Amino acid sequence: MASKSESATSGSQTVTPDTAATPQESRQHSVKQRKGQFVIAPRRVPGMQMMGLSPLQFSAVEQALRDSPDIDVIDKIGPRSGVGTLTAGAQDGGAILIARMSDEKASALSLQSQGQLIVERDQPLQLLDVNYPQTTLVNCSMPTTGSAFVAEFLVLGANNTPVKDAEVYLFGSLLPATGITDGTGRVKLTLYGETSQSLRRLYVKPRADYWSFSQEQPDISSSEMNVIGLRALSDWPSLANFPAQQQLTWGQKAMRLDQLPAHYRGQGIRVAIVDSGAANAHQDLSKITRGYDVINKTLSSGWNVDTISHGSHCAGVIAGMDSDWGIRGFAPDAEVHACKLFPGGQISQLIDALEYCIEKQIDVVNLSLGGAEPSEALEQQILRAKQAGIACIVAAGNSGGPVQYPASSSHVLAVAAIGKLNEFPADSYHVQTMTPQVDSNGFFSARFSCFGQEIDVCAPGVAVTSSVPDNNFAAWDGTSMAAPHITGLAALVLAHHPDFQGTSPRSAERVERLFQIIKLSCRPVMVGDQRRTGFGLPDVLRAVGLAPAHPAPMMGSTVSSQALSPQMLQVLRSLYREPPRMMPQTYGGVAALDPYASFRQIMSPQMTMQHPYGMGIW
C-alpha cells in the first residue's frame, strides 16, 4: 500500500515518490495529445448569403478567437499589398488565421459558423523525392537479446578516397540497420536476430558526386572489413568530364533542350521554388538573389541555407547557370525566388508562400511537395494564385498510388516521373525504379510515381543529376525531380512563345493557355497506361513554337535489344524474366499508338474537349 507521501498518476493526480528525486525526475510530464493547429479561413463560395445567412465579418471572427481563453491565435496570413487584395475576391482580402485549440473546440467553431468558415487541421507537408528505401514497421516484437550480426563497411570513391557522409542501409528480415560513414569512410552496423544468410539488400547513398550502390542478397562478412567502391558520376558516358565540362542532363536532352537556340533563356520570367531553400553559394545557383524564409518569415536570410539539398537540386534543373561548368538549367536567365518551407513545412506555410508569390507577381511556381489529404483552404489559395496569373507545377507524388494533393487539384499541372534505359549504372539503386513496360524510345514509368486521371504530363524523374550544397552534384529520383523539368519549360514558353509576347494580362486564362501549350507539345510515352504519363513527355521546340504542335504517332511495338547495354539487358531479364515490351493502349475500344492523333486531326487548339481520363484543354 502506498504511503502518505505517494499518490498515483491518474487523471489530474500527481505522483510524489518516497525516494529522493533528482530535479529532472521531479518535473514529470504526462504524455498526451497536444492542442491541434488549425487553419481558419472564410469559405469563398458564391451564394453563401442564400438561406438567410449573413456574411461573416472576418475581423470580428478574429477578435472573438483572440479573446477566447482556450484558443491561441499564433499567426495571421494575408495579402501584403494591393495585388493580393484585388485577387482575393472577398471582403476579407484573402486573410486566414492559424490557431491552436482542441479538436472539440474546432468542431464547435465550424458548426457555429454555419458553413461560412473553413476550420481544418494544419497538415504537415512532405518533399517528393526518393532518396532512401522506404521501410514500414513490422507486426512483431524486435529482438533485444541473443546474437547480433555486426558488420563494418568502408566506402571508397575515386582513387580509393574515403567517402564521408554516405548513408549505408543493411536490410535483413526485419527492420534495417542504418548509419553514416565518418571522415575515414567507415561505418559499423548491427542487426539483432539476423545472420549473414538472412541479409536481403545492401544500399549505399552518397551525399554527392557518386552513383548510389545497391546489391541484392549481399555477401557480407562479420569478421573482415567490407569494402564498397562507388562510381563517380563522371564515369558514366553521358556525363564524361563532368562537372569540369558543362552538361545537359539526359532528361533535358530527351525534351530537346539541347536543340533550342542559345538566346532562348527565360528572360523576364519570375519563377518561385517552394522547397527547402536554394544554396546560392553553389556556383550554378549564384544568380539566385531573392527569396523568402517562410518558416522564420524573413526576406533577408535563411532562404539561401539548404540543409537537406532538395530545393537546390530542383533549382539547378530549372535555372542552373549557363557557364563552362556543372549543369545548365532550362531557363538560366529567369528571375528565381527561393521560398524556404522545409524541413517542417505545413499547409498554412504553403499558403503564406503562395501569398508571397502573388505579391511578387511570380509567373511559375514549382511545388515538389505534397500532403496526405486535400485542403480546402489551400485550394482557395491555389485558385487565387491562378487568378493572379501564377501557374503552379506540382509533383504527383512517390507512393506508387493515387495522385497526391495538391497535384490532384484541377487548378495545377500535375507531373509524373519517367526514367530511361541506359542512363544509370546497373548496380545503382535507380534500377529499383524500373517497370517492365518500356516504350520504343527506352522510356519507362517510374515504379514510385503516383498515377491517375489527374496526371497531365510526365517528365524525367530517375537518375536526374543536379546541384547540391556545398558545390557538388547528385543523381536523385522522384517526381520532385520531374516537376522542375516542366517548371523550367514553362518559363521558356512564357518568355518566348508568340502567344505571350507583348502585353499578356495576368489571369487564369493565361495559366490555362500555358498548360494547353505544354500538353500540345507532348510526345506520347506508350507504357500501357495513360494515367501514368498523361499527354506524354513535353517537347521544348514544340512548346516554344519552333516546331508544329501536333506530334506524330510513335511507331514501333518493341524495344530492340540492340538499343540496350548488355548490363542493362541482363538486369531487365533478371527482374522481369523477359525483354521489355511497349504496350499499345486501347481507347474507346480502338487500339492506337497515339491516342490523341485522331482528335487532333479534327479539333482546333482553341477548343475544349473531353480528355480520355478527365477534362483537358486541347
| Successive 10-residue mean pLDDT values, the chain, 618 residues | 42 47 71 89 68 64 92 90 51 79 94 92 86 60 79 96 97 91 97 91 96 96 97 93 93 97 96 97 97 94 95 98 94 98 95 97 97 91 97 96 96 98 95 93 96 97 96 96 98 96 88 97 93 97 88 40 52 46 37 32 31 26
What is the per-residue pLDDT for 549?
Answer: 74
What is the per-residue pLDDT for 28?
Answer: 85
Is 421 in the same domain as 468? yes
Q: What is the CATH number of the domain that holds 498?
A: 3.40.50.200
Is 223 in the same domain as 281? no
What is the per-residue pLDDT for 251?
Answer: 97
Contacts of 493 (CB under 8 A, 6+ apart): 500, 514, 517, 518, 543, 544
Is 213 in the same domain as 103? no
With 0-12 CB in 10 A as exposed, 13-18 as middle and 19+ as buried, what is 90? middle
What is the per-residue pLDDT for 560?
Answer: 43
Per DSSP, the three-state class of 373 is: coil
Q: Which amino acid, one-letter code, is at 475?
A: A
Rounded to whole angstroms, what are the CA distances from 5 to 9, 12, 115, 243? 13, 17, 52, 71
Range(s) of the domain holding residue 95:
36-46+68-121
Cis peptide before 406 (omega within 30 of 0): yes
Q: Is 140 part of any domain?
A: no
Is 331 in the same domain as 247? yes
Q: Is 333 part of any domain?
A: yes
What is the pTM assigned to this prediction?
Answer: 0.83
Q: What is the dihedral of CA 257, 518, 479, 215, to 10 degrees?
A: -50
Is 322 in the same domain as 212? no
Is 265 in the same domain as 216? no
Rounded to whole angstroms, what are the CA distances from 333 to 262, 288, 319, 356, 488? 11, 10, 7, 21, 11
Q: What is the set of active-site residues? A: 275, 310, 480
Number of domains forming the structure of the chain: 3
Q: Is 3 part of any domain?
A: no
Tell which of 210, 231, 252 closes a domain: 231
Q: Is 9 part of any domain?
A: no
Is 247 in the same domain as 210? no
What is the per-residue pLDDT for 193?
Answer: 87
With 0-12 CB in 10 A as exposed, 13-18 as middle and 19+ as buried, what is 34? exposed
Q: Is 567 part of any domain?
A: yes
Q: Which residue has the cell 532562404?
A: 303
Q: Whole-angstrom Cα distance, residue 71 to residue 60?
A: 15
Tell which of 197, 231, 265 closes a domain: 231
Q: Is 605 part of any domain?
A: yes
Q: Whole-angstrom Cα distance, residue 518 to residue 457?
A: 8
DSSP 390-403: PEEEEE--SSSSBP
Q: Is 236 part of any domain?
A: no
Is 490 in the same domain as 590? yes
Is 179 in the same domain as 108? no
Is 520 in the same domain as 573? yes
What is the per-residue pLDDT for 376?
Answer: 96
Is 559 in the same domain as 612? yes
Is 373 in the same domain as 443? yes
Q: Whole-angstrom Cα distance, residue 313 to residue 478?
A: 11
Tell which of 231, 254, 272 closes a domain: 231
Q: What is the CATH number of the domain that holds 180?
A: 2.60.40.1120
Show the CA angle centred on residue 609, arms to residues 604 and 610, nearest 5°. 145
Q: Is 58 part of any domain?
A: no
Q: Whole-angstrom Cα distance, residue 464 to residue 167?
A: 19
What is the per-residue pLDDT for 141?
Answer: 77
Three cell numbers, residue 7: 499518490
- Which of 557, 554, 553, 555 minimizes the C-alpha distance to 600? 553
